Structure 1
Amino acid sequence: MKKIFEELTNKTVLITGASSGLGEQIAYEAARRNAKVILCARREDKLKEIAKKCSTLSNAGSDYLPLDIADFQDVEDKLETIDAHYPKIDVLVNCAGFGLFENFIETKFEETVNMFQVNVLGLMYITQKIAIKMAEENSGHIINVASQAGKMATPKSSVYSATKFAVLGFSNSLRLELKPLGISVTTVNPGPINTNFFDIADPSGDYLSSMGGLTLNPTKLAKRIVNSMGTYKREINAPFIMEFGSKSYLLFPHVGDLLASTLFNKK
């Protein structure tokens, strides 16, 4: 398979949503491969702690910048700071995002706007800025963390699923646009991951416990994602049963509706 680069040593990897969960684990795994990691999220105290650990794992060092992905001016300001210290971003990992598991008719519209602002518009804004720089170098890899919810929607995830369907559609088109410029676009479509994402999405904790063996380990998934860096891999999907379900949904939509409202409906 054709690659953009063979290894991560001294490559610069920018990760949004890096203060916890999957983003944090991607940071550690990239650092272990001697990448220079730049960590971005809102919680500066957590970023500082994670960056310190990354520096012990990597010979290339690490950096962090508090960033509100939903605030376009903040993104602009922080990217100027990054440009001043890092002439090239080799990999962008868009991991920032959140969800709320609620019936749509009970969801406050402000929450809907905020979810789109973080999950979709913020992702698109920072991606465009960095893709322009990558195009100048004729090299780069953009990894967008979407969701199996962006392939097969289930009850109580209408808004969250809508944001992830948007990320998938955006990424699929962007992949075709950027490949001639030497830039790869990969989407990561996980099912439920055992992280603090569910502290907001489902404070009761019932959803994760009900999913049992379908729940993903963030460390293992992070390794798969970092393994893909520098390649033209199209998608990373997990777990297999959910990906099978999403493919069945496309081929047999009535069966897909049944699976979505029964087997995969644990909210």
Structure 2
Amino acid sequence: MNKLKDKYVLITGASSGIGEALAFDLAQQQAIPVLVARRETKLSQVSRKIEEMYAIKPIIYPIDITDRDEWQKGIDSILRECGKIDVLINNAGIGYFETFDRIDWESIENMIRLNIDALFFTSYYLLPELMKQPVAHIVNIGSQAGKIATPKSAVYSATKASVISFSNALRMELEGKVSVTSVNIGPVETSFFDTADPKGGYRKSVAKYMLDPTDVAKHITKSLFTNKREINLPYWMHIGSKMYQNFPRIMETILKPTFKKK
């Protein structure tokens, strides 16, 4: 029996990268993707391809989820159209790599609004609806940066550490009602780096370690409606984060040359 058939899965940041890959993988599993992002043209393109490939018509909502009033109206509209949401994937996020003394305040606010505020609000507003379903799941896209903070990512790392902590607490609060999984990933080959690293230096230095968004999406889809606590990719970076938690000073010394590549 296909556990995802006819399930409504809301994905934020769905116009590219991991969000787009999730939309295709979920449609292949006969779920109905509800795609949310700012770029209507790109959402429409993704929707058309999915419908052609899988005869599944995604629901698209072009909206800025950091605009709380508009996003609240958007969620209400989604619920009216779909009747329910079975899975929420908080995928939208942004990063800017710069030292804290040089980064502009607007970039800091952008990261906080999207990576934390919008994720919290979306979860908060949809939670009563999710709890009505026989099975439901919240997936929060965190980062290995939330476990190992590095130079030029003080704010980004802090936002992702918040996502991980939020997921851990929410999982315990919702035990037996809604599953909660955090996805803590290293660098992924997506347009994220167009903003985070516009000069391309860091992207080039980690190119051989880049994850494929399609592979990340498959791990997430496989975990839905399970009690999976965390998805940590790549595995070697997960081991590194555990070592960092136990031996932070030693690991910072060893990894210092790598950290400086950013």
Equivalence map 1:142-181=2 (5 Å): 142-181=138-177
Distance change >3 Å, CA 122–CA 61, structure 1 → 2: same
SS of equivalent residue, structure 2 residue 216:
helix
Q: CA deviation at 1:197?
A: 0.4
Q: For residue 265 of structure 1, report the CA deviation from its aligned partner.
A: 4.1
In structure 2, the residue matched to 1:110 is 106
Tell me whether 1:202 sits opposite 2:205 in the alignment: no
What pairs up with 1:1-267 in 2 under 5 angstroms? 7-181=3-177, 183-267=178-262
CA contact (8 A) 2:97 2:152 kept: yes
Aligned equivalents of 2:221, 2:110: Cα separation in 1: 29
Residue type at the aligned position of 1:156: K
Q: TM-score, normalised by structure 1?
A: 0.94
1: CA distance between counterparts of 2:122 and 2:54? 25
Q: Any idea what SS the aligned residue of 2:206 has? A: helix
What is the letter of the counterpart of residue 140 of structure 1? A
| Structure 2 Cα separation of the partners of residues 83 and 108 of structure 1 | 37
The alignment's C-alpha RMSD in Å is 1.4
Task: Classify the secondary structure of the residue corresponding to 2:174.
Answer: helix
Asked whether the 8 Å contact 1:185–1:234 carries over to 2, the reply is yes
1:131 Cα offset (Å): 1.2
Deviation at 1:141, TM superposition (A): 0.3
Query: What is the CA–CA distance in structure 1 between the aligned matches of 2:209 and 2:70, rounded to whole Å?
Result: 37
In structure 1, distance between residues paired with 2:242 and 2:135: 32
Opposite residue 108 of structure 1, the aligned amino acid is D
The structure with higher relative contact order (CA 8 Å, sep 6+) is 1
On the 8 A contact 2:135/2:225 being kept in 1, the answer is no
Gaps of 5+ in 1: none
* Divergent runs of 4+, >2 A: 56-61, 136-139, 258-266
Deviations 1:143-188 (A, max 9, x none): 000000000011100010010011111111001111132x000000
Task: Give the Cα separation in 2 of the matches to 1:260 and 1:123.
Answer: 31
Task: Note if contact 2:12-2:37 (Cα within 8 Å) is conserved in structure 1.
Answer: yes
Q: Distance in 2 between matches of 1:81 and 1:233?
A: 30
Q: TM-score w.r.t. structure 2 length?
A: 0.96
Q: Is the 8 A contact 2:186 2:234 kept in 1?
A: yes
**Could you tell me how far 1:138 is from its partner in structure 2?**
4.7
Deviations 1:75-110 (A, max 9, x none): 111111111111111111111010000000001122
Task: Tell me, yes or no, if the aligned pair for 1:246 and 1:256 is still in contact at 8 Å.
Answer: no
CA contact (8 A) 1:154 1:261 kept: no
